[in-house]
């Protein structure tokens, strides 16, 4: 990991190590990938104001959200099927996250069971749940989370409709995969990945069971079709509120209206996310939606945002626009593919170091002192200094 200096370095290494169909599964987005690109473009369009001659020798990035102390305001977003990156999968990512003082969100579509992950990262594992057609399946999931001492549930809010990802369709990446010949050849040219795949953890869904055993790859599609639920509503959040005493975070919130509804239905946290551009293409970048959502939440809930975070400065921008913490997916999946647990640990190290450096230039020693002013270079407001919600409020 000595030659890894950025998330982009991890990405290059992961690209070399993974067959193209796996790399594209991680990296790709829906349709024309407009939203995927926009997440990055919107972050790039915001610049931060430098300050000088401030004593920043004692700076640190610690913070606390939903009762969990973090060494940096960064959480691992839930990701399904990480087993394709490396057989150590979620266990490696969760361990690296815990060691870095972060939190790992376990996905319902994970290859590892929640039990295995919570065991690997006690106190640092949150559980994502989905409202399945078979409500008993969801209830069992919630009960297991409670039994394992998990304190925070993250509700998958944006999965009622399945997206179309052209890269996956071209590679035949389904469950089970049906790759064209060129991908079979390309995969054969990655023997280390093939050996890990053959010898490592088998490709299952770790969380749900058929006949008492984990769901196998060839059974996933049928299980998914049976359980996909397009009828979930805010009433399900209200019902969840009644049965779950811990924290509830709703993921996939991209509008002020939904942020308000989440709070009104008892959510403790709002997770601003467009699924990293993997679900609904042609929508806003998360960083564009964030200020309105922060205003709507009005400090009644914790706000987390993901989508395109690749530098410490991106985390600082998210905080600057009013988020309590940022989150990221692909940087950790790519770290896992590039170098198992040490690869994920390196992703955390890089982002933590970059964030501390940015804080030095911003002239702050604590996360809560990151200024609420960004320099927005995009569009007609070229060069204008825009005030983020908190700053605007303070000024009025
Ligand atoms: C391989 C992969 C699998 C994902 N699986 C899930 C999932 O199971 N549940 C979910 O809510 N989001 C899922 N996401 C979206 C992430 O939680 C997150 O919103 C997104 O990756 C953030 O963008 P970033 O990758 O640019 O950081 C997945 C993303 C990737 C890359």
pLDDT at position 377, please? 62
CA pseudo-torsion sign 35, 41, 45, 50: positive
Of residues 137 and 388, more confidence is placed in 137
pLDDT at position 388, please? 46
Identify the residue whose C-alpha is closest to ligand 1 atom 14.
79
When the pLDDT of each residue in the chain is averaged and rounded to a whole number, the result is 92
**pTM of the complete model:** 0.94
Phi, psi of 106 (to 5 degrees): -80, 130
63-72, 194-203, 258-267: the lowest-pLDDT one: 194-203
Bridge partners (DSSP) of residue 305 are 272, 326
Active site amino acids = 275
How far from 98 is each of 75, 87, 344, 366, CA to CA, in Å?
Answer: 10, 19, 11, 21
Tell me the best of 278, 289, 311, 315 to mutate to test the pocket of ligand 1, counting ligand atoms within 8 Å of each CB and taking the most: 278
pLDDT of 389 strictly over 50: no
Answer whether 251 contacts ligand 1 (Cβ < 6 A): yes
Percentage, residues of the chain above pLDDT 90: 82
Q: How would you class 388 by CB atoms within 10 Å of its CB: exposed for 0-12, middle for 13-18, buried for 19 or more?
A: buried
The Å distance, Cα 378 to ligand 1 centre, comes to 27
The Cα–Cα gap between 17 and 188 comes to: 12
Answer whether 273 contacts ligand 1 (Cβ < 6 A): yes
Tokens 């709507």 belong to which residue? 296
Of residues 376 and 298, more confidence is placed in 298
The Cα–Cα gap between 252 and 259 comes to: 10
Q: How would you class 205 by CB atoms within 10 Å of its CB: exposed for 0-12, middle for 13-18, buried for 19 or more?
A: buried
Can you give the chain as a three-state secondary structure string?
CCCCCCHHHHHHHHHHHCCHHHHHHHHCCCCCCHHHHHHHHHHHHEECCCCCCCCCCCCCCCEEECCEEECCCEEECCCCCHHHCCCCHHHHHHHHHHHCCCCEEECCCCCCCHHHHHHHCCCCEEEEECCCCCHHHHHHHHHHHHHCCCCEEEEECCCCCCCCCHHHHHHCCCCCCCCCHHHHHHHHCCHHHHHHHHHCCCCEEEEEEECCEEEEHHHHHHHHHHHCCCCCCHHHHHHHHHHCCCEEEEEEECCHHHHHHHHHCCCCEEEECCHHHCCCCCCCCHHHHHHHHHHHHCCCCEEEEECCCCCHHHHHHHHHCCCCEEEECHHHHHHHHHHHHHHHHHHHHHHHHHHHHHHHHHCCCCHHHCCCEEEECCHHHCCEEEECHHHHHHHC
pLDDT at position 23, please? 98
pLDDT at position 213, please? 83
Answer whether 130 contacts ligand 1 (Cβ < 6 A): no
Atom number, ligand 1, closest to the C-alpha of residue 82? 1
Identify the residue whose C-alpha is closest to ligand 1 atom 1.
26
The Å distance, Cα 267 to ligand 1 centre, comes to 21
- With bands split at pLDDT 50, 70 and 90, how would you rate the model's confidence at 384? very low
Answer whether 308 contacts ligand 1 (Cβ < 6 A): yes
The Å distance, Cα 213 to ligand 1 centre, comes to 26
**What is the arithmetic mean of pLDDT over 15-32?**
97
pLDDT of 73 strictly over 70: yes
pLDDT of 248 strictly over 90: yes
pLDDT at position 309, please? 98
Atom number, ligand 1, closest to the C-alpha of residue 252? 11
Atom number, ligand 1, closest to the C-alpha of residue 308? 26
Tell me the best of 275, 328, 332, 344 to mutate to test the pocket of ligand 1, counting ligand atoms within 8 Å of each CB and taking the most: 275
Answer whether 109 contacts ligand 1 (Cβ < 6 A): yes
- With bands split at pLDDT 50, 70 and 90, how would you rate the model's confidence at 378? low
Of residues 381 and 233, more confidence is placed in 233
pLDDT of 379 strictly over 70: no
Answer whether 23 contacts ligand 1 (Cβ < 6 A): no
Identify the residue whose C-alpha is closest to ligand 1 atom 2.
79
pLDDT of 346 strictly over 90: yes
- With bands split at pLDDT 50, 70 and 90, how would you rate the model's confidence at 386? very low
**What is the arithmetic mean of pLDDT over 153-159?**
96
pLDDT of 312 strictly over 80: yes
Atom number, ligand 1, closest to the C-alpha of residue 27? 31
13-17, 111-115, 176-180, 218-222: the lowest-pLDDT one: 218-222
pLDDT at position 221, please? 84
The Å distance, Cα 78 to ligand 1 centre, comes to 6
- With bands split at pLDDT 50, 70 and 90, how would you rate the model's confidence at 381? very low
Q: Are 374 and 291 in contact (CB under 8 A)?
A: no
- With bands split at pLDDT 50, 70 and 90, how would you rate the model's confidence at 390? very low
- With bands split at pLDDT 50, 70 and 90, how would you rate the model's confidence at 207? confident
144-158, 165-179, 198-212: the lowest-pLDDT one: 198-212
pLDDT at position 376, please? 64
**What is the arithmetic mean of pLDDT over 176-189?**
93
pLDDT of 396 strictly over 50: no
pLDDT of 382 strictly over 60: no
**What is the arithmetic mean of pLDDT over 331-358?**
98
Tokens 């035949």 belong to which residue? 172
pLDDT at position 212, please? 79
Of residues 66 and 216, more confidence is placed in 66
Q: Which domains does the chain have, with CATH numbers?
A: 7-395 (3.20.20.70)
| Residue 266 falls in which region: left (phi positive, over 0), alpha (psi -120 to 50) or beta | left
pLDDT at position 251, please? 98
Answer whether 156 contacts ligand 1 (Cβ < 6 A): yes
**What is the arithmetic mean of pLDDT over 147-165?**
95
Atom number, ligand 1, closest to the C-alpha of residue 25? 1
The Å distance, Cα 306 to ligand 1 centre, comes to 9
């Amino acid at each position: 990991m000595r030659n890894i200096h950025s998330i982009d370095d991890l990405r290059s290494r992961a690209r070399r190590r993974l067959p193209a169909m796996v790399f594209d599964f991680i990296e790709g987005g829906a349709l024309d990938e407009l939203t995927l690109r926009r997440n990055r473009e919107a972050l790039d369009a915001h610049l931060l104001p430098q300050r000088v001659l401030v004593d920043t020798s004692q700076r640190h990035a610690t913070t606390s959200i939903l009762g969990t102390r973090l060494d940096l305001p960064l959480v691992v977003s839930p990701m399904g099927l990480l087993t394709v990156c490396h057989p150590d999968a979620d266990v490696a990512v969760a361990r690296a996250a815990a060691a870095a003082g972060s939190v790992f969100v376990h996905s319902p579509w994970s290859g590892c069971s929640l039990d295995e992950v919570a065991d690997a990262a006690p106190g640092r594992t949150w559980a994502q749940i989905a409202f399945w057609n078979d409500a008993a399946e969801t209830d069992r999931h919630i009960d297991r989370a409670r039994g394992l001492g998990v304190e925070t549930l993250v509700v998958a809010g944006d999965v009622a409709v399945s997206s179309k990802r052209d890269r996956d369709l071209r590679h035949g990446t389904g469950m089970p995969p049906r790759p064209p010949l060129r991908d079979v050849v390309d995969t054969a040219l990655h023997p280390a990945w093939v050996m890990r795949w053959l010898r490592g953890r088998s490709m299952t869904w770790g969380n749900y069971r058929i006949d008492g055993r984990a769901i196998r790859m060839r059974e996933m599609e049928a299980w998914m079709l049976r359980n996909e639920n397009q009828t979930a509503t805010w009433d399900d959040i209200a019902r969840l509120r009644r049965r779950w005493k811990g924290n509830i975070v709703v993921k996939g919130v991209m509008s002020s209206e939904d942020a308000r509804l989440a709070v009104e239905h008892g959510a403790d946290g709002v997770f601003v996310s467009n699924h990293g551009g993997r679900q609904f293409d042609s929508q806003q970048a998360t960083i564009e939606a964030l200020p309105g959502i922060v205003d709507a939440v009005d400090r009644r809930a914790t706000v987390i945002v993901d989508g395109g975070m690749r530098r410490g400065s991106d985390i600082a921008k998210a905080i600057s626009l009013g988020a309590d913490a940022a989150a990221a997916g692909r940087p950790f999946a790519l770290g896992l593919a590039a170098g198992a647990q040490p690869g994920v640990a390196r992703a955390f190290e890089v982002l933590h170091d970059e964030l501390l450096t940015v804080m030095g230039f911003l002239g702050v020693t604590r996360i809560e002192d990151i200024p609420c002013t960004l320099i927005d270079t995009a569009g007609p407001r070229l060069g204008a200094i825009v005030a983020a919600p908190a700053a605007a409020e303070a000024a009025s």
